[in-house]
């Protein structure tokens, strides 16, 4: 695990944001399961789908249409942020592919028979051992940073913001922000299904049986 990035990302936040990062790290953001356990709710069921207990994982895997649309919007924003940070294209593609597979409860597919991609395959196997859901709690493998550092070297990216350590810290904070937005959405954020972007997302990602890695 990339401990330094995790600790620094928490230290850089102040006030409420610092408290939120600590809650994320300990998976203590308010879910219905946690609220019922603490006597703050009479039910632990998800208010959107009303089919499953709303625990930490369910926040990211709820099958209700509104949750799936919001999740895809957040994944698209994460993709844009990764690209703006000059993240290695293969790393962007794989991170989003794994997150989509996990959040949609598909089996995570990591082919380990291609020698050319052995390093990145090992990185994602390592992350799967740490737990995909733990990505949102700031638990990332140090191997991501190694891949990104090599990309910076290969593309001759210079400057203080293009460093392995800063990229690791940024990734932890970006995933934590994803977490906060999904929790905030479940607490009352509404989505209009009359907009074209939402219709396009529904047709492209949710009305098909599978999501191919090429669509990332």
SS3 (DSSP) at 53:
strand
Q: Which residue would you say has higher pLDDT here, 19 or 188?
A: 19
Would the pLDDT of 141 be above 80? yes
DSSP 164-204: HHHHHHHHHHHHHHHHHHHHHHHTT----TTSHHHHHHIII
- Residue range of the domain that includes 90: 3-215
Half-sphere CA count of 63, side-chain side, radius 13 A: 8
State in Å, rounded, how far the first CA of the chain is from the last one: 25
Q: Identify whether the C-beta of residue 66 lies closer than 8 Å to the C-beta of residue 191.
A: yes
- State mean pLDDT over 164-180: 84
Residue 1, C-beta contacts closer than 8 angstroms, at least 6 positions apart: 130, 139, 140, 141, 142
Predicted confidence (pLDDT) at residue 55 exceeds the cutoff of 70: yes
At 175, the pLDDT band (50, 70, 90 cuts) reads: confident
Q: 10-39, pLDDT tens digit by residue? A: 676 665 565 667 777 777 777 888 888 888
> What secondary structure letter does DSSP report for 107?
P
More confident residue, 69 or 210: 69
pTM value? 0.76
With 60 as the cut, is the pLDDT of residue 98 above it? yes
Considering only residues 7 and 74, tell me which one the structure prediction assigns the higher pLDDT.
Answer: 74
- Number of structural domains in the chain: 1
Identify which of 176, 136, 132, 182 has the alpha carbon closest to the alpha carbon of residue 31: 182
Structure tokens at 52: 């499953």
């Amino acid at each position: 695990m990339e401990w330094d990035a995790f600790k620094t990302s928490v230290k850089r936040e102040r006030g409420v944001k610092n408290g939120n990062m600590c809650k994320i790290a300990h998976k203590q953001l308010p879910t219905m399961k946690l609220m019922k356990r603490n006597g703050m709710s009479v039910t632990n069921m998800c208010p959107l789908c009303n089919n499953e207990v709303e625990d930490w994982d369910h926040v990211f895997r709820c099958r209700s249409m509104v949750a799936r649309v919001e999740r895809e919007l957040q994944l698209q924003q994460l993709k844009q942020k990764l690209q703006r940070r000059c993240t290695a294209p293969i790393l962007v593609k794989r991170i989003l592919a794994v997150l989509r597979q996990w959040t949609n409860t598909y089996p995570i597919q990591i082919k380990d028979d291609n020698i050319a991609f052995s390093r990145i395959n090992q990185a994602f196997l390592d992350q799967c051992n740490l737990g995909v859901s733990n990505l949102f709690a700031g638990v990332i493998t140090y191997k991501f940073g190694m891949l990104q550092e090599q990309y910076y070297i290969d593309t001759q990216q210079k400057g203080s913001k293009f460093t392995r350590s800063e990229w690791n810290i940024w990734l932890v904070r970006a995933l934590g922000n994803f977490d906060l937005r999904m929790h905030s959405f479940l607490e009352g954020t509404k989505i209009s299904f009359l907009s074209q972007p939402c219709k396009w997302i529904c047709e492209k990602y949710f009305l098909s049986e599978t999501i191919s890695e090429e669509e990332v």
